[in-house]
Amino acid sequence: MLEFIFQGACNDIKKTSHKWQTPSNIALVKYWGKTHPQLPKNASISFTLNNCNTRTRIDFNKKQNNNSIEFEIFFEGKIKEEFKPKIADFFDRIKKYCPYIYDYRMVIYSENSFPHSSGIASSASGMSAIAMCIMNLEKDLNPNMKDSYLKQKASFLARLGSGSASRSIEGPLVVWGKHLDIAGSSDNYAIKFPYKTHPVFDNYQDCILIVDKGEKDVSSTLGHNLMHNHPFAEQRFKQANDNLKKISDILQNGNLKEFISLVESEALSLHAMMLTSNPYFVLMKPKTLEIINKIWNYRRENDSNICFTLDAGANVHLLYPLSEKKEVDFFIKSELLKFCQKNHYICDYTGSGSKKINS
């Protein structure tokens, strides 16, 4: 990707600091399976969330030598040595595109709006926040940079940290992965869904029911790798790409019944890949299934448009239109809360992506 290689600085910056807030996202059509270096085997689309986000500040101080990448990471006020290897890998992958990171000592201060041990993946919001801070430094070095380039390169960099992080720069609907029916789509970075969406999807609600706060038994890196040699892999990649075409039409025409069946099928297909890999594994918990059954009953009895999706974990994302918020709030409190660990759930809705924080 020659277009993302830094072309040289116009300014000499000795010291600067940037702070960005970037969101988590929830995929409607899932990415599961990749090739090196973090290129997806199929295209995916996600809702960008509003309330679940990471806030990261990076202090950049120019150093004497430029022969190594130096950084510290503080998470929620405490130094976090255990986060260093993943971020060091990330810097290693982006150094070719951002060689100026050798020139600065970087101190990273990061915090999440959602509890760390809530089973909500923070790699998407975490990596995209670092990518935005780095790109803000690049803009200081090269002020003529266009905003569209900044965001595209930030998505490209974030992708090298965690695939789904590429979808956490913009909102409310983002596509990552080359797809013939989505103009401008690319495997290298994510783009905003380029077509006008039906108003029923405005402020679409996502209530995350926390079934299990623990660390996952199987990391997503391992899960992606199990898609190599998976007996159903090719079929799955085709299904996802077909579903992306279908959901693109649905998002434009507002057919919620079709939306529900596609989104739930995607969630279960993702988990079906886990159930049928070698070695196989199960990330759902009994309460995940109890919630799913409750949702199906509620939908049948109330002619509701509520549906669920799942990430690579046991938590259930309840998706529904804003117009049904009052009824669904009542349903959650009266029937679903008992399945949540310590009655914990987080109500969120679609958001517009990364935001600069002026401190």
Beta bridge partners of 53: 23
According to the binding rule CB under 6 A, does residue 266 interact with ligand PMV?
A: no
Residue position matching structure tokens 């690579």: 312
Of the candidates 287, 282, 315, 307, the one whose C-alpha atom is nearest the C-alpha of residue 115 is 315
CB 170 within 8 A of CB 48: yes
According to the binding rule CB under 6 A, does residue 309 interact with ligand PMV?
A: no
According to the binding rule CB under 6 A, does residue 241 interact with ligand PMV?
A: no
Least distance CB 40 / ligand PMV (angstroms): 8
CB 106 within 8 A of CB 60: yes
Q: Which of 21, 22, 44, 188 forms a contact with ligand PMV (CB under 6 A)? A: 44
Identify the DSSP state of 82.
Answer: G
Nearer to ligand PMV, 175 or 328 (CB): 175
According to the binding rule CB under 6 A, does residue 30 interact with ligand PMV?
A: yes
R_g over Cα of the chain? 20
Q: Which of 19, 23, 24, 27 forms a contact with ligand PMV (CB under 6 A)? A: 27
Amino acid identity for residue 346 in this structure: I
According to the binding rule CB under 6 A, does residue 24 interact with ligand PMV?
A: no
Instruction: Please report, in angstroms and rounded to a whole number, the separation of the first and last CA atoms in the chain.
Output: 34
According to the binding rule CB under 6 A, does residue 123 interact with ligand PMV?
A: yes
Tokens of 177: 């992965």
Tokens of 353: 């992506």
Diameter over CA atoms, the chain: 68
Least distance CB 164 / ligand PMV (angstroms): 3
Residues 270-299: x/- map of binding to ligand PMV (CB under 6 A)? x-----------------------------
According to the binding rule CB under 6 A, does residue 50 interact with ligand PMV?
A: no
- How many residues contact ligand PMV, by CB under 6 A? 15
Chain residues in the site for ligand PMV (CB under 6 A): 27, 30-32, 44, 121, 123, 162-164, 220, 224, 270, 311-312
